Amino acid sequence: MLEPVFISVMALMGIGATCGLVLSVASKVFYVYEDPRIAEVEYFLSGANCGGCGYAGCSAAAVAVVNGQAPPSVCIVAGMESAVAVAGVMGVDPGSAEPLMSKNECTGGDRADNQFLYNGVNSCQALSALYGGQRICSIGCLGQGDCIAACKFNAVHMGPNGFPVVDETKCVGCGACEKACPKNIIRVRTMSERLLHFNQEDDALAPCQQTCPAEIDIPRYIRQIKEGDYEGAVYTIRERNPLLLTCGRVCPHPCEDMCRRGIEDEAVSINQLKRFVADYEMNSGRRLPIPCAPETGKRVAVIGGGPAGLSCAYFLRRLGHSIKIYDMMPKLGGMTRYGIPEYRLPKEVLQWETDGILNLGIEFQGNVRLGIDYTVDSLKNEEGYDAIFMGVGAWKDYKLRAEGEDLKGCFTGIDFLTRFASHQQGDSPDDVPVGKKCVVIGGGNTAIDCVRTLVRLGADEVSIVYRRTRKEMPANMVEIEAAEHEGVQFHFLAAPVKAIGDDQGHVKQLEYLKMELGEPDASGRRRPVPIEGSETLMDIDMLITAIGQGPDVSFLEKEAAIKDLEITRWSTIDANPETLQTNIPYVFAAGDAQTGASLVVEAIGGGRRAARAIHLYLNDEDVTPIPKSLRKKHIPESLFESVDGIILIKRTPMPEMPVAERIKTFEEADLVISETDAGRESNRCLNCCRICYDKDSCAA
């Protein structure tokens, strides 16, 4: 009776025991060494084997992490805690545990014309196989929603304008949408990757964005303003430019010169729109939170708290590095604080902006001079910084090299502006004595800043002496016009020869030669030629020379470690224009110190470019130039020549304080446009290139 049961049990046990024995022997015989960390890493992954990470199961993902092919944040299900735990096992910095986020690069727009009628299946893959899509725009979104179908987390939906919108709260960064998109428009990147992206030849960029030295995504923020999403617009600008209040006021907006609307109509007032949203944030009384990547533990010293230094510090901080800014002046801002007068950029506004940057956790030490209080050597070897950024600016006025320029009552441009600004904001007790009949030599923005400041200080007669004509003046046209309105006299084609002093050594007369225009010189401007015997005397009691400025590199005399730092013959720091790395690998330079006196926005762009190189350097990667870099270049076919069919709409004029009032005060002369005007102005944007530019149904 019991025998068959006994036999069957024994037989099964026999089979089981044999299998177990064979397997255990096999596991010894066929033992393959496996990194023990794989098992540890796998423990922290979700175990769901969902494949959302792109690897075949959790163990494959664990292997990829251990082999360094996947970041610790590989598991899209387990989230941040798992990423930190995995980073702990791997002993890597959790900085790479930054979450990935999908973002639609296409800002959509008014759909472009169709080249042909498409009746095939509703799929981007299929559509792009047919001549790259049916729209005349060959680079934009096809709008069939392959990314929506690919998303397993319902994070992508079709927006009202026919292009997909990503819900950032649902996105886990799995990358399925990016793989599904045949046009490479929807991209999954970490914030750091987005912050460090530079214009490349195969990006779809509007002419304005190609021109902007900071590479701000201009069409995107204009579109956000149009939709009333002012906070979104602020975020868009902050991805490229941390000084939006400053740039919104003082930027000479080279972008607007390339605006395609300007071909038939007036250019879109891009910079006033930037100022509008920047002021909107400031006046709302609430600072929009700025996210930063997890701490990396790397430390960078930023020398110079001007636009280049602030920009570099801001981007490096957002990438997770610890930053300290050193500056010779007591407050942050550099030339924007001490060079740009109060009426163009109120100190209060600048303070609000720099406070916002310091709030990210950046340290600042003012009143310390490079080469006197500290050296690059001491920062590197005593303080132990991993990299050093030099944004020391161009603070040294060029000399006129004329007789009598050291007389009493003679100043140089930057020196005058800085001394006055320091006194005005209470940094320094020394007032600058102002004359009654003042002359400023030079035609640049510094010269104009000097004359407009002098007008406000109550000088009776203020004139500019410039050796060429108004057309050749390098200053911004709006600034020249404003100076004219404020009663400044212009003496063109006049070359100063010498300043003549009185018995007490105080300047009393300026002698100059009259000029005429001759042949064009190397810069394409017609060279002024002196007229023989045309010496003229002018009665003055104050003279400012503002004929240009360059970096002050005298600190190098005190340096041991970087005494070999290469300097160009214009006394700027010689750095690779793409990476901004100098011949000393841990020293990077940007801004006026590297380019020579230039725009604020140029320095901001340089600061970000240097931040990218420093980030690579700190991560022990090769500091290589950006592939297919579009720096200072344009994509030829994007600069289309005709924009027919446009209905002319006047550009919103800049609101200004009346001349009679503004010449008595240092209050801001240019005002911000109203919300209605901002909406109207943003509607003038043609949304070039990035999307379908459709001349028949464009927003005009």
Q: 125 or 665, CB closer to other proteins?
A: 125
Closest CA to 234 of 611, 613, 678, 657: 678
Query: How far lies 616's CA from each of 341, 397, 511, 609, 694, in Å?
Result: 37, 35, 55, 11, 41
Residue 374 φ then ψ, to 5°: -155, 165
Cα distances (Å, whole numbers) of residue 157 to 120, 151, 489: 22, 9, 61
- Indicate the residue among 77 and 457 with the shorter CB distance to other proteins: 77
Dihedral over Cα of 521, 525, 528, 529: its sign: positive
| 35 versus 484: smaller Cβ distance to other proteins | 35
* Shortest Cβ 82–other proteins spacing (Å): 20
Please identify, using beta-carbon distances, which residue of 60 and 639 lies nearer to other proteins: 60
Q: HEC string of 104-151?
A: ECCCCCCCCCECCCCCCCCCHHHHHHCCCCCECCCCCCCCCCHHHHHC
Q: Give 325's strand partners.
A: 302, 364
Strands 299-303 and 542-545: unpaired
Residues written for the chain: 700
Distance in Å, CB of 4 to other proteins, minimum: 8
For residue 147, the minimal CB distance to other proteins (Å) is 13
Least separation in angstroms between CB 125 and other proteins: 7
3-state SS, 680-692, equals HHHCCCCCCCCCC
Residue (144 or 209) nearer to other proteins, CB: 144
CB of residue 644 to other proteins, shortest distance in Å: 38
Q: Where are the beta strands (DSSP E) in 335-409?
A: 363-365, 387-390, 396-397
Cβ nearer to other proteins, comparing 33 with 620: 33
The smaller minimum CB distance to other proteins, of residues 61 and 303, is found at 61
Phi, psi for residue 681 in degrees, rounded to 5: -65, -40
Could you list the residues that contact other proteins (CB under 8 A)? Answer: 4, 7-8, 11-12, 15-16, 19-20, 22-23, 26-27, 29-32, 49, 56-57, 60, 121-123, 125-126
Tell me whether residue 226 is exposed, middle or buried, using C-beta atoms within 10 angstroms of its C-beta: 0 to 12, 13 to 18, 19 or more.
Answer: buried
Residue 11 Cβ, how far from other proteins at the closest point, in Å? Answer: 5
Cβ closest to other proteins, residue 31 vs residue 696: 31
Q: Which is nearer to other proteins, 55 or 364 (CB)?
A: 55
Shortest distance, position 130 Cβ to other proteins, whole Å: 12
- Residue-wise over 159-195: b if at least 16 C-beta within 10 A, else e? eebebbebeeeebbbbbbbbebbbbebbbbbbbbeeb
CB of 90 to other proteins, least distance (A): 22
Phi-psi region of 280 (alpha: psi -120 to 50; beta: other; left: phi over 0): alpha
Instruction: Give yes or no for a contact between 302 and 383, defined as CB atoms under 8 angstroms apart.
Output: no
Could you tell me which of 136, 354, 157, 269 has the C-alpha nearest to residue 651? Answer: 269
Q: How far is the CB of 166 from other proteins (least distance, A)?
A: 21
Question: Which of residues 37 and 506 has its CB atom nearest to other proteins in the complex?
Answer: 37
Closest separation between CB of residue 21 and other proteins, Å?
10
Distance of CA 217 to the CA centre of its chain: 10
- Backbone phi, psi, residue 403, to 5°: -65, 140
